[in-house]
Structure 1
Amino acid sequence: MIYDVAAIRAQFPGLKRMQNGEPAVFFDNPAGTQMAQQAIDRMVWAMTEVNANLGGQFETSILAGKLVDDAHEAAKDFINARSVEEIVFGQNMTTLTFMMSRVLGRELKAGDEIVVSRMDHDGNVTPWMIMAEERGLTLKWLDFSPETFEFDIAQVGNIVTDRTRLVAVGYASNVTGTINNVKAIAAAAKAASNGKALVYVDAVQFAPHGVIDVQDIGCDFLVCSAYKFYGPHYGLLWGRQEHLERLTAYKVRAATEELPSKFVTGTTNREELAGIMGAIEYYEWLGRNFGGAIMPTLTRRQRIVAGVEAMLRHDHALADRLIVGLKQVKNVRIMGIADRAAFSRRVPTVSFAMEGCDPTEIAKFMASQGIYVWDGHNYGVEPVTRLGLIDKGGVVRVGPTHYNTPGEIDRFLGALNVYLQRR
């Protein structure tokens, strides 16, 4: 089926924004995508048609409870969990990770080891660093190559020991764009620790660009944020049911011990859950319209996968056009995999630095042209430090996604050349 980017863009009302008489170019997607119409409609529906707290005997409360159940079912299919009892919703990936660091920290003692990564967003680093400091744990680092922008999986076996109790790693980097082989990392960590290490995966940057299958990865926890995959500002965490049942939740006395509600603090945010459900329904729409998933016998999971696969072909084409164009700009250093043959190991997020150019000034110029990009470390404190750029303003980050167009890539490259000519 022909990929119709105009039809896809029509599903995102935010893309109608105009600036300087032209459509704005949204390349800020790694920090937050535009919301799909399906997600917006679901949120409005939740706030107008089923707006009641849970547990009541009346119709709107009963319907609100069904909404919560349906959202858990949709999230289960999105990441291929075994059960809705393995799904925990929360404010965002960072908040959920801070919660889990407190929960998991209760089981650790001085001398235990945890491993974090030099490539990760700070949301998957600082919570564990604080836990290590508070519990007297030994903190170890999994490094990456600043030349290849990838991990050496063999190093996992050298770092992890039978004292290791946690390995935290990102699925895809919000700086380098690298897709990490988290399945191989999880297997290596389990083998080197004699099965004692839990593996915690941050999938925030991967979720908008790939198929998540927690049963295949072999990790113990995985977390992502819906506002990075076309939904509202809310997050979801998956954990193996045996872990979630065993662990102690920090909650009020009146709250239930039953999963999946055990780790939910306070009133469930039903409109956000509706928005997440709508975002997943958008993936299904993509699968039906551009992934060939039109047979009524297909499962929701199959439609989601078909939608993601349709996205990916377009993602790779955009990344190729962007990287080829940047390579033609003098003094540009691309901070990620630039080999077309290796694009299966990266998301389309592309960061770069230019000798003598301030990333903030480039981002400001782009903003004046109606092109939205990010600059700085983007909370990737560790990778930007490892790349030697933390004291040089960080990087310029350009993050196309499946609703962007080749013409928008060309606009960015043209604007970059104009900026350089005016310097």
Structure 2
Amino acid sequence: MSFTPNLARAQFSALSQTYNDLPVTFFDGPGGSQVPQSVLEAMQAYLGFFNANLGGHYFSSQQTTQLMLQAREHAAALVNAESKDNIVFGANMTSLTFQLSRAISREWQMGDEVIVTALDHYSNVSSWQQAADDKGAIIHQALVDELDCSLDIEHLLSLINDKTRLIALTLASNTTGSIVDVKRVVDAAHRAGAMVYVDAVHYAPHHLVDVQALGCDFLACSAYKFFGPHVGIAYVAPKWLHALKPYKVEPATDCGPGRFETGTQSFEALSGLVAAVKYLAQWGSSHLSLRERLVESYRDYNQHESGLSERFLLRLSELSGVRLYGRQVADSALRTPTFALTFDNHSSETIARKLGECNICVGNGHFYALGLVRQLKLEQSGGVVRIGFMHYNTLEEVDTLFDELKAILGD
């Protein structure tokens, strides 16, 4: 079956609803995607018939054990992990990152150095700042290139030295959509003996993650950003799976990914995760492996999303008094279809509120990318309007957005 946005849209009940007798348009994908019916049904089926814990000698517990394995297999296929055993689950990316930061930083010493970036969501900044503070390590923050709101790679590379223990950076900005050349940073970090922790939360709905190609030590993402429920996923490279000493309760397993997973997992969310990965892979040829089907499906998503970005940039050029922060290209290799705007004569909150009154759902603020809005001197003025498309959005919806913006701006 070939991908079309309409075939995708038909699987999402939220996209066909009306509110206050008006249709609804979701451009808030970077804050959380909508969920297809298959994900809802999978979660309901698990809770309705198989709700249990692991380790029991009865059918629902055995079903839950199989579900856990299946979820690891599907997540491993999504990020191209070496094994399902390199996949760790948690409440969300932020909680997982704080948790893993405790284990990763155990051996840090006074004077060690850590590099974070001003482009990142602060889940991948504050966790490392606090871990460094606990150990007396020094934090450096790589700057944003203000010309296109991408990461200043040269500045980051200049910060690496033999005291660098870890570099934390994003694959794509959740605010400007800029994609980062993480592989270049990983290579430089490993030459210096440093680890790399990658935030793929914003990248994963738009591009297929490949941890083996990146060579990163850790990578984290969240299923609710790629059409699934609230569950965090972390990849731990094979060399660190048993080398790190996690904080855990004594009776819990000390073998495999379970050594990093505290408490009982949300098995219904893992059921939804499996369904979300299947949804993402559905446009691939049926005879292929799950990973290969994902590769084919994501090619379709990239092509469609590039078209959405192209239409957005074309229509944006018709407006006056608007500034775009980010790469002014539609190429999906350079950006996701996520755009950050400010308006000369209207606050970001005003624009977002007026669009919201029309059921056009966009975000405004800093989106936890504090380093970015501070460097751009936008924090005190209310940050930016963020407009983010997913593959279920259409060119007609982009046109509707700009028709409303023209009315708001009086253009």
Distance 1:137 1:218 in 2: 25
- Residue 2 of structure 1 and its aligned partner are, at CA, apart by 5.4
The answer to whether the 8 A contact 1:175-1:384 is kept is no
Distance 1:339 1:60 in 2: 51
Give the corresponding residue for 2:210: 213
Of the three residues 278, 289, 294, the one matched with 1:304 is 294
Instruction: Name whichever of 153-162 and 228-237 sits farther off.
Output: 153-162
Give the corresponding residue for 2:304: 314
Give the corresponding residue for 1:200: 197
The answer to whether residue 158 in structure 2 is matched with residue 169 in structure 1 is no
Q: Secondary structure at the match of 1:385?
A: helix
- Residue 250 of structure 1 and its aligned partner are, at CA, apart by 1.3
- Residue 152 of structure 1 and its aligned partner are, at CA, apart by 3.9
Q: Secondary structure at the match of 1:345?
A: coil
Give the corresponding residue for 2:375: 386
- Residue 343 of structure 1 and its aligned partner are, at CA, apart by 4.1
Distance 1:152 1:335 in 2: 15
- Residue 286 of structure 1 and its aligned partner are, at CA, apart by 2.7
Give the corresponding residue for 1:88: 88
Give the corresponding residue for 1:97: 97
Give the corresponding residue for 2:408: 419
Structure 1 stretches of 4+ moved >6 Å: none
Give the corresponding residue for 2:385: 396
- Residue 93 of structure 1 and its aligned partner are, at CA, apart by 0.7
Give the corresponding residue for 2:60: 60
Give the corresponding residue for 1:408: 397
The gaps in structure 1 that reach 5 residues or longer are: 288-292
**For 1:101-120, what aligned pairs fall within 5 Å after superposition?**
101-120=101-120
Amino acid at match of 2:294: I
- Residue 94 of structure 1 and its aligned partner are, at CA, apart by 0.5
Q: Secondary structure at the match of 1:8?
A: helix
The answer to whether the 8 A contact 1:156-1:188 is kept is no
RMSD: 1.3
Aligned residues: 411
The answer to whether the 8 A contact 1:26-1:371 is kept is yes
Distance 1:147 1:156 in 2: 16
Give the corresponding residue for 1:290: none
1:376-410 Cα shifts (integer Å, max 9, x gaps): 10111111111221111100000111001111111
The answer to whether the 8 A contact 1:335-1:350 is kept is yes
The answer to whether the 8 A contact 2:22-2:358 is kept is no
**For 1:24-423, what aligned pairs fall within 5 Å after superposition?**
24-191=24-191, 193=192, 196-287=193-284, 293-294=285-286, 296=287, 298-340=288-330, 342-421=331-410
Instruction: Name whichever of 132-141 and 154-163 sits farther off.
Output: 154-163
Distance 1:59 1:3 in 2: 38
1:117-162 Cα shifts (integer Å, max 9, x gaps): 0100011111111111111111111112111222343333311001
Distance 2:129 2:235 in 1: 22
Distance 1:413 1:373 in 2: 13
Amino acid at match of 1:275: G
The answer to whether the 8 A contact 1:170-1:180 is kept is yes
The answer to whether residue 6 in structure 2 is matched with residue 16 in structure 1 is no
The answer to whether the 8 A contact 2:167-2:196 is kept is yes
- Residue 248 of structure 1 and its aligned partner are, at CA, apart by 1.1
Q: Secondary structure at the match of 2:242?
A: helix
Amino acid at match of 2:364: D
The answer to whether the 8 A contact 1:118-1:143 is kept is yes
Q: Secondary structure at the match of 1:128?
A: helix
1:278-304 Cα shifts (integer Å, max 9, x gaps): 1000012132xxxxx23x2x1110001
Distance 2:215 2:155 in 1: 18
- Residue 22 of structure 1 and its aligned partner are, at CA, apart by 3.3
The gaps in structure 2 that reach 5 residues or longer are: none
Amino acid at match of 2:314: V
Q: Secondary structure at the match of 2:116?
A: strand
Distance 2:317 2:376 in 1: 19
The answer to whether the 8 A contact 2:3-2:283 is kept is no
1:300-335 Cα shifts (integer Å, max 9, x gaps): 100011111111111111111112211221111101
Give the TM-score of the pair, scaled to structure 2.
0.97
Distance 1:81 1:343 in 2: 23
Amino acid at match of 1:221: F
Distance 2:145 2:53 in 1: 50
Amino acid at match of 1:23: P
The answer to whether the 8 A contact 1:359-1:375 is kept is yes
The answer to whether the 8 A contact 2:3-2:297 is kept is no
1:226-254 Cα shifts (integer Å, max 9, x gaps): 00000001110001122120111211111
Q: Secondary structure at the match of 2:8?
A: helix
Distance 1:211 1:345 in 2: 14
Distance 1:178 1:108 in 2: 31
Distance 1:400 1:354 in 2: 20
The answer to whether the 8 A contact 1:20-1:369 is kept is no
- Residue 80 of structure 1 and its aligned partner are, at CA, apart by 0.5
Q: Secondary structure at the match of 1:322?
A: helix
Distance 1:43 1:358 in 2: 40
